[in-house]
Structures are given as C-alpha cells and as structure tokens.
Amino acid sequence: MQGWVTLALLLSLGAKRSLAQNGLGEPRGLTLNPDLPAQTLSLAWQSDSTLFDLEIFHTEFMNVVLNATVEVQADPVTGLHSWTWHSPLPLECTSHSVRIRARNQQSVSQWSPLQTIPGWDIPEKSYMFPEDKMIPVGSNMTFCCIVNEKEDFKEIKYGRQEMKATRLSRRSYAITVTNQPASDNTGTNVICSSQKFQILTGTVVFVGYPPGDEGLVCETRDLASAECSWKKGRDTHLRIKHSQTNYTLNGRDCLEANERKTWCSSKMWEENWTLEARNPLGTVQLTDSAQLTDRVHLLAPVNVAAVKVEAWSATLQWSWSVAAYKKLEMVCQLRLFAHELSSTRNYDGPGLSSVVLEGLWPDVDYTVTLRCGSKHSFWKWGDESAPYRIHTKMDRPDALDVWMWMDSSNTGHVFWKPLSVRKSHGALDGYEVSQSSAEEDGRNTVSLPPGNFSYPIILNNSSDVTVAVAARNPAGLSQPSTVTTPAYRADSQLSVSELLGTNGSFVLSWEPNVSASSGYVVEWFPTGCTGHCPIDWKKLPESDRSFTVNSDSLVAGVRYTVSVYSLSTGAPTLLQRWQGYSQEMIPSQSVSELSLNQTGSDVLLSWKATEMKQQRGFIRGYTIYLASAAHLDLIANITDPAVQSYRVKGLTLSSYKFVVKAYTSAGEDAGATVAIKMEMDTADMLFVGILVPLGIMFCCIILFSIFFYKKREWVKKAFYPEIPGPKVSGDWSSPRGPLDVKPSPHSLVHIVKNPEWDFTKEGLFPVPEEEEESENDNMEVDTDSDEPALLRYYNQVVGDGSHSNQVSDSSASSTASMGSTQTEITYAGIQSPSSSQGAYSGGGYRPQMQSVTGPAEPQIEFEADFQDDGLNAGYKPQCSWQLDSPEAENFSGSLGSPTSVTSSQFLIPESSEEKPQPSNTWFHNFLSGKS
C-alpha cells in the first residue's frame, strides 16, 4: 500500500514538472466585471498565451454553463486579455464562478483560481429577474425567481401560462419563455408564487415592436415654415412612458409627436427632411425632399362675405390670415350647395380675395364654401372656409306651360303645369287667367290661388276662345301663356289606332305637318276619363317627329288616349290619335252575364265582355274550358273578341261546368263559370223510349232468326224431333168397332178432367165406359186393378179433308178422355202435333182427336182418314199396337187405368222404317229447310 502511494506522488511531481517544462504559465489576475442589465460578464486577465480554456459554473450546484476555448489577444497598452460572455440567465439569479487556463495546442497550463460573482439568492428576500425588460415580439427570455428563505416555491406563471421551472440553486428557480407575444398596455406579468398561492415576487416584461412609422411628407402653410407629417405604422405595444417612441426631425427633438399626433414642425423650410423614430426596441428613419413652392398648403380663407347679392348673381369677398398669400398665384374652388342646384366653380388669380358668382337662380338659399391652392406646382387644396349662406333675390316667374282640354261640346278646362323652383323664381302668390274670344271685346281676368293648376271654360258660341294664364310672385307677373280652344273634342271617336307600349312607355312618331309652325303637342290621358282627368301633355318643337311618353307618367293596365296636335297661330289641330296600354295586364274581372242554353245535345254559351276599366289590356279573345274535378280542358279558343258566344255540340246526358276566360296579351283572367245538367228533350225521349227498344227488339228477332236458321238442325232435334211414322203392316181394314188400347204401364199418362174441353175438336176420344159396357158386355174391366186399363177407341176416321183446319193440341188429346168417369189422361212431355195436322190433309199424327160431332161421325172420319193414310204414309199407331206390336199385350194391362200418368217419353217410339210425317206449318217447313 505504501508503495502505491509513493508511486502516485512521483507521477504527480512528474506531471507538474512537465507543465513547467511546457512554458505555459497560469493566467494571472482574473477579474470579473458583470453588467447586470445587459446580462454580460466581462473577464480580464494577464497571460503570455493567446489561447485559453474557459469554464463558467453556477456556483452553488457547480453546473457548467460554459466550457469553451477562445483565442484572445492581449491589449497592447495594458497587456490585459479581456473577453465578454453574454449570459442567457440574469446574473442576479445565482452566483457564477469562472476559471481560466492557457492552452498551446495540446498543452495546457494550470486553471486559474475560481473567481465568483455572487447572485441575489444570498440575501434573505424574494426577487425576480429581469425587471421591466423590453424585448421584441418573438424573442426568448429566461426569468428566475429567488425565493425567500422561509418560503416554499410552487410555480412561475408567465401571464396566465404556468411554466416548467428548473432549479438553479437552493433558493433560485428559472423558466425560459420562447417566442413571446406582444404585451398588453401595462406589460406581461411573470408571477412567482408559493405553495399557499401567495405571491412571492414577480416582474413585468414589455414585449413589443420597434417603430413602424412611414410616409414622411413636409409642406408649408405660411410659405416659410415647414410641417412634416407621417403615417403611424403598426402598434408597438409599448405604452409605458419610457418605452414610447421618440421622434427627431433633422436631428431636433419633435416633442409634439406621440402615439396619436404624427406631425412635427420646423420654423424654417429645408429641402431635405429626416425623421427618426426610436423606441427601446429599435429605430426607423424617414426622409423627404422638396422645394417650398411645390409644397404649398394654404390655410382657409377667413371673413368670407357676400357684398352684393342679386337675383341671378352675387359678389363674394374674403381675406387671408397670411400676408404672404397676397402675392401667391392661386386657384380657388367655390362650392355652392343648394337643393338640386349644387355646383363647383374655380377661379384663379394672384392673392385671390373676391369673385363674382354668376348663374345663380333667384330666391335660392346657397351655402358657399371656399378653398384655394397654389396655381403653379399645385400641391393640394388648402383648408376649406367655414360655410357661408347666400340668399338670392326674387325675379318674375317664367311663362307657364298651358294646355286646354275640352270634355264636352262647350265645356273644358285650361291646365297649366306647376312651376319648378328654377322657374318660379320666388314663392308664387297665384295665377291670373284671362279669357277672350273673337266675337267679344275685352278680356275676363280671374286671379287664382297658387294651389290651382286648372280653370274651367265654357263656350257660349261656336267661335274659338283664347285663354291666357300668367303666374305671379312678389317680383311680378310672368309672361302670359295662351291657348286657343281646339276644334276637337277630347273624347271624340276619330280614327283611333291601337298603340302598343314598349317597356312601359309609348313610343310615338308622326308625319311632319306643314301647319305646325309652333311645334307639336303630345297629349295623353286615361281613355274614357270624365271630370277632373289627369291630363298630361308635352310641347315639342316643330323639328320633332317622335316622342316617348315615359313610364313615369303612365299606369300599367290603364288604357290611354294619346293624341298629337300641331300648333300654329290658331287652335291646335289634331294630327293623330292612338289608344293603348303602356303595359297590358290580365283582366281584373271575368266576363259578365255568362249564360248557357241547351238545344238538344248542344249548349250555347254566351257572355258579355268586361268593362274597359277592368280589361286592363286589349281583349284578344276568349278561351272556353270544360272544367273537371282537377283541371280545365280547353275546348275552344275564340280569337275574335267580337264573338261572345260559343256552341258546344254533342254533349251526352251529364253535368258540365264551363269556364270562359277573356285574355289579353298578358294572359287570361280568372274566368267565369257556368254549369249545366243535360236533360233529354221530348223528341229524344220518344226516340230513345220507343224506337230504340223496338229497333233493338227487331234486331234481336233478326239475330235469333239467323241463329235458328243456322242451327235449325239442332233446334229441330231439340224441340221438334222427327216423329217416326207408324208401322203399317197387315190389314188396317179391320171392322168397325171399338179399339181397345192397353196403355203401357211405363207411360206417364195423367188423365185429368177438363170441364172446358172443346167438343168441337175432332179426333180420337175415349168411349164412355157406360157405352162400352152396353156394347161389349163380354169385356171385363177391372178398374181397381194395377194393370193399365184397357182404353177403347173407335177405329173411325176423325174427319175428312176439311179437318186440316182444325186445331188440336196435346191438351185436346188428353182431354179426349174427359168423357170417361174413371180416367183423365194428360200426355205431358209430348210435343203437340196438333198444329201440324192442318197442313196436310189426312197426314200427320192424329192419335186421340175426336170430332165435335157425335160419336158416330168420328168413326166415319177416322176410317176415311185411314184410307188416306195409305196415300200419305201417315202415322197410324193404333193398328200396330193392337195387331202387330208384339208388346201390345203387355201394355194392354195398364191402359184404362184411372191413375194420372206423366210421361217424359214419346208415347210412340221412333221407327227406323217409317219416316215421321213432317208438320205442314211454315215453321215446320222453316225448320225443315223446305221452302
């Protein structure tokens, strides 16, 4: 262990020896000189070397804040090396220690002893640094808070912003603020507070801008001195007095200038001017250069007065407050203000001090202001004088614009237009109207108050009347204006042309008239106007050929009568007349008296046009609509406005609503509505009620006929099946006697008693049983038996050839048994063949026909009929039943039964061998296709 210590001492001694051998001496006499406001620390020392290592510490924590190598030459006079360090931290914040050593490449001397400047964190008090610092906007700054010995530090706030603090020493804390914004009026507060939210200390920093003034201009007001002004630049944000901007003009303090007053004066004119604006943050210089005569800015004229005032002119005088102006060539601008009569006039001359104002108007209040400037090298107008009031005198009024309008054959009005201010030349006292005619001597003069602008005239005879009108004011009477009664009437219906408005105006043109020596008059008034009409007119020189009546004097939707007259020495002459609308509108009222009249299926609509006042445009036509629930269907557009009716044809029986609208070029009116419910008239009812059903029925018959003809086979089968002819085999010439027929038990034969049986009919009939019993005693008839009763017929001819006219039917056939007390037979379901029996003599089916005569006669007829059957191949069923039919025996049991039987089958089955005898009726022929 002792050996290691010895080695270390030897090495240390060796190192010192090597430094000494380098020849680099330790810097001597290091002194520190702090500049606290500038936050700089100046170091001075003695040394033979020029290169030095520097180290600066925050003493208490020995934090290195600078470690640099600098080359510093010695001052040749004092032999001292000096170097200045700018501290980012106020030097008061904490103690700083400095040491220095010389360096020669890699060789260094020993460090000088530490030199320390004490900070303010040693005394027992709270401080904050820097104090009242002024810095430009955007700069960075470090603030430190030195806390009192017994206080607990909490935070540092920059304005309202809490900052992160770093500890410099036991009692000192620092914050660094970057890019600082501009301060308020009294600066930005930086507050250091304790844990108890009490203010320990604080400081104020003023953040602003250097001066930004610009635009220096110097001028003279008195032709000797100078006044220089400039424009204020951006706000410096530095309000406290010792931070405000100071100004110097050509090196002289400009005390009158401040934040709001940006001008400075100099007693003598200098051709070159320099203004320097300075505040703690910077300086700006402004320059200007000009000759005095180029910068003359005159003061305002004083003592302005009107020395002579007339109706049309006035003389104005003034004086100057600067004597030097009297020789200055100047130009003055005089501004006259009056209602609708404002004007500006310029006058020039050396030392101008009076002018004569020409072209004024009588009885007008003028306000005059005056300002002047240097005529040569005009710089700007001088100050304006105070307003001065001039009231011109009155003068006689101008002549009136007079026109006459006749509203009847002998009455009319003389109109005149009110005089404007420019023409009345003073407040009017009234008017004087005088009337004269060629046949009467003298004039009748009437005075009217100033509010009147018309006067009625009455013509006593046919001669023209001349009326003269003059205006009167305190200055006198105007020249009279005359007008002669025109040989026309205002509402006369001379040839009137239609006039279309153009953009709300009437554009008129007419052919020149040689008699228009005094020009023309264009007159317009509402058409049809009576009484006090708003007559308007315009007098035009004779060279004019056209005129536009402006929309200002016209009302849209009102029909105007526009006339052009030629003026000469006598009465005006009407040249042309129009009627028109300046702007057409849709009618304000619909057509009137809209009515309708039904004629059959037609409806006649008729109406009357609206009155002219409500037309508001030329009626170009009418539109007729059929109104439905939701919309209108146009059915007619009548383009001739004279047509005021329309016939709607071919309407069916229903309800209708018609709308009639009149239209102008602007469009349709709202429309008038009329409704009707169509009813049938007598002829129609007759037609529809009788003829139409008849026609329909006829058509149906035709159709049925055609149908049945086409389907005759089917119909025949369905309704008239062919009845098979009876089989005739063997001898039909059986002896006369009763024919016993035993009906088939399956036949549905209903035997009914018909008290109305027509005995006039001929044919088969049952023989009464009493007679049978009397004549055929050997024949037993069991009436109670279930077997069909045996029907007994006489085999006799029912009738001869005349029986074809006899009509028989099934009922007749069935009633043939009415004579029986036991049975009534009805052949239901059997188509009656009786109708056909008349068509063929002796032909056809005649089964049970009986004669109306006695029983003997039918026998004869029946026999004869059978004899005819051979010729006609007719139906002879009874023979087959009794003689040939193998089933006759089976049926015989059921015949003669008193039971009512209804049969749906034909009694006589169809025979394939025997063709049935066709009916001889037309219908039968029709169905059979026979002609």
Partner 1 sequence: MEGAADSGRAAALARLLHRDCTRLLQLYKEREDFLSQHAPGGERLVTLALCPEAPSTAEQVGHVRSALRRCMELLECLIVREVEEMGEELQGEYESLRKTVKDRLGHLLHSTGALLENGEGGCPPSPPKQCTEDEVEGSDSFAAKLWTYRVLLELIHWTDSASQTLHVFHTEKHGQQQLL
Q: Residue 756: enclosing H or E segment and its boundaries? A: none
**Least Cβ distance, residue 133 to partner 1 (angstroms):** 10
Q: What is the 3-state secondary structure (H, E, C) of 695-731?
A: HHHHHHHHHHHHHHHHCHHHHHHHHCCCCCCCCCCCC
Strand positions, DSSP E, 766-855: 791-794, 797-798
Helix (H, G, I), strand (E, B) or coil at 452: coil
Q: Could you tell me if 104 and 22 are in contact, meaning their C-beta atoms sit under 8 angstroms apart? A: yes
Nearer to partner 1, 243 or 566 (CB): 243
| Binding residues among 544-603 for partner 1 as defined by CB under 8 A | none
Instruction: Answer positive or negative: Cα dihedral of 182, 187, 191, 197.
Output: negative
**Least Cβ distance, residue 66 to partner 1 (angstroms):** 28
**Half-sphere exposure (Cβ direction) of 420: Cα atoms closer than 13 Å:** 5
Nearer to partner 1, 257 or 533 (CB): 257
Nearer to partner 1, 278 or 345 (CB): 278
**Least Cβ distance, residue 259 to partner 1 (angstroms):** 6
Nearer to partner 1, 187 or 918 (CB): 187
Among 193, 610, 744, 795, binds partner 1 (CB under 8 A): 193
Q: Could you tell me if 626 and 633 are in contact, meaning their C-beta atoms sit under 8 angstroms apart? A: yes
Helix (H, G, I), strand (E, B) or coil at 839: coil
Q: Which stretch binds partner 1 (CB under 8 A): 233-241, 435-443, 789-797, 807-815?
A: 233-241
**Least Cβ distance, residue 230 to partner 1 (angstroms):** 18
By CB under 8 A, is residue 240 in contact with partner 1? yes
Q: What is the 3-state secondary structure (H, E, C) of 281-339?
A: CEEEEEEEECCHHHHECCCCCEEEEEEEECCCCEEEEEECCCHHHHHCEEEEEEEEECC
**Least Cβ distance, residue 236 to partner 1 (angstroms):** 13
Nearer to partner 1, 243 or 817 (CB): 243
Q: What is the DSSP string of 64-86?
A: EEEEEEEE-PPPTTT-EEEEEEE
**Least Cβ distance, residue 185 to partner 1 (angstroms):** 6
Q: Which stretch binds partner 1 (CB under 8 A): 256-264, 325-333, 674-682, 807-815?
A: 256-264
**Least Cβ distance, residue 162 to partner 1 (angstroms):** 11
By CB under 8 A, is residue 149 in contact with partner 1? no
What is the DSSP pairing of strand 411-416 with strand 402-406? antiparallel
Nearer to partner 1, 255 or 701 (CB): 255
What is residue 850's DSSP assignment?
Answer: B
Residue indicated by tokens 């049938």: 680
**Least Cβ distance, residue 159 to partner 1 (angstroms):** 8
Measured between alpha carbons, how far apart are the two ends of the chain, in Å?
173
Q: Which residues pair with 331 in a beta bridge?
A: 348, 373
Nearer to partner 1, 234 or 915 (CB): 234
Q: Report the candidate in 288, 213, 285 with the shortest Cα–Cα distance to residue 244.
A: 213
In Å, how far from its chain's centre is CA 804? 96
By CB under 8 A, is residue 198 in contact with partner 1? yes
Nearer to partner 1, 53 or 151 (CB): 151
- The residue type found at 150 is K
What would the two tokens of residue 1 be?
């262990």
Long-range contacts of 923-926, Cβ-Cβ distance < 8 Å, separation of 24 or more: 924/720, 924/836, 924/839, 926/709, 926/712
By CB under 8 A, is residue 259 in contact with partner 1? yes
Q: x-or-dash pattern for partner 1, window 98-137, by CB under 8 A? A: ------------------------------x--xx-----
By CB under 8 A, is residue 244 in contact with partner 1? yes
Q: Which residues pair with 104 in a beta bridge?
A: 107
Q: How far is residue 721's CA from residue 717's CA, in Å, rounded to a whole number?
A: 5
Helices 692-710 and 712-719, packing angle to 10 deg: 90
Other C-beta atoms within 10 Å of 298: how many? 25
By CB under 8 A, is residue 201 in contact with partner 1? yes
Number of residues that bind partner 1 (CB under 8 A): 26
Cβ neighbors of 879 (< 8 A, separation 6 or more) are 726, 728, 730, 732, 734, 866
**Least Cβ distance, residue 286 to partner 1 (angstroms):** 22
**Least Cβ distance, residue 37 to partner 1 (angstroms):** 12
**Least Cβ distance, residue 239 to partner 1 (angstroms):** 6
**Least Cβ distance, residue 241 to partner 1 (angstroms):** 5
Nearer to partner 1, 92 or 668 (CB): 92
Strand positions, DSSP E, 493-612: 497-500, 506-509, 519-526, 536-540, 546-549, 559-567, 573-581, 592-599, 602-608
By CB under 8 A, is residue 278 in contact with partner 1? no
Nearer to partner 1, 236 or 481 (CB): 236
By CB under 8 A, is residue 204 in contact with partner 1? yes
Nearer to partner 1, 105 or 198 (CB): 198
By CB under 8 A, is residue 157 in contact with partner 1? yes
- The residue type found at 635 is I
Other C-beta atoms within 10 Å of 906: how many? 15
| Binding residues among 171-190 for partner 1 as defined by CB under 8 A | 184-187, 189
Among 239, 278, 489, 712, binds partner 1 (CB under 8 A): 239
Q: Which stretch binds partner 1 (CB under 8 A): 1-9, 235-243, 502-510, 791-799?
A: 235-243
Q: Which stretch binds partner 1 (CB under 8 A): 200-208, 620-628, 670-678, 751-759?
A: 200-208
Q: Could you tell me if 578 and 561 are in contact, meaning their C-beta atoms sit under 8 angstroms apart? A: yes
Residue indicated by tokens 């030897």: 10
**Least Cβ distance, residue 181 to partner 1 (angstroms):** 15
Among 86, 150, 260, 677, binds partner 1 (CB under 8 A): 260
Nearer to partner 1, 128 or 372 (CB): 128
Nearer to partner 1, 191 or 791 (CB): 191
Residue indicated by tokens 């001195």: 225
Q: Which stretch binds partner 1 (CB under 8 A): 62-70, 199-207, 404-412, 821-829?
A: 199-207
What would the two tokens of residue 298 be?
């005159």
**Least Cβ distance, residue 417 to partner 1 (angstroms):** 60
**Least Cβ distance, residue 275 to partner 1 (angstroms):** 21
Nearer to partner 1, 17 or 260 (CB): 260
By CB under 8 A, is residue 197 in contact with partner 1? yes
Cα distances (Å, whole numbers) of residue 453 to 63, 404, 539, 755: 107, 12, 17, 120
Q: How far is residue 582's CA from residue 560's CA, in Å, rounded to a whole number?
A: 8
What would the two tokens of residue 82 be?
């000096």
Q: Could you tell me if 253 and 289 are in contact, meaning their C-beta atoms sit under 8 angstroms apart? A: no
Q: How far is residue 277's CA from residue 284's CA, in Å, rounded to a whole number?
A: 5
Q: Which stretch binds partner 1 (CB under 8 A): 30-38, 89-97, 202-210, 318-326?
A: 202-210
Q: Which stretch binds partner 1 (CB under 8 A): 85-93, 257-265, 411-419, 807-815?
A: 257-265
What would the two tokens of residue 154 be?
């909490």
Nearer to partner 1, 191 or 433 (CB): 191
Q: Residue 11: enclosing H or E segment and its boundaries? A: helix 2-22
Q: How far is residue 657's CA from residue 677's CA, in Å, rounded to a whole number?
A: 9
**Least Cβ distance, residue 210 to partner 1 (angstroms):** 19
By CB under 8 A, is residue 203 in contact with partner 1? yes
Q: Which stretch binds partner 1 (CB under 8 A): 252-260, 323-331, 483-491, 792-800?
A: 252-260
Nearer to partner 1, 132 or 884 (CB): 132
Among 31, 69, 258, 902, binds partner 1 (CB under 8 A): 258
By CB under 8 A, is residue 90 in contact with partner 1? no
**Residue ranges binding partner 1 (CB under 8 A):** 128, 131-132, 157, 160, 184-187, 189, 191, 193, 197-199, 201-204, 239-241, 244, 258-260
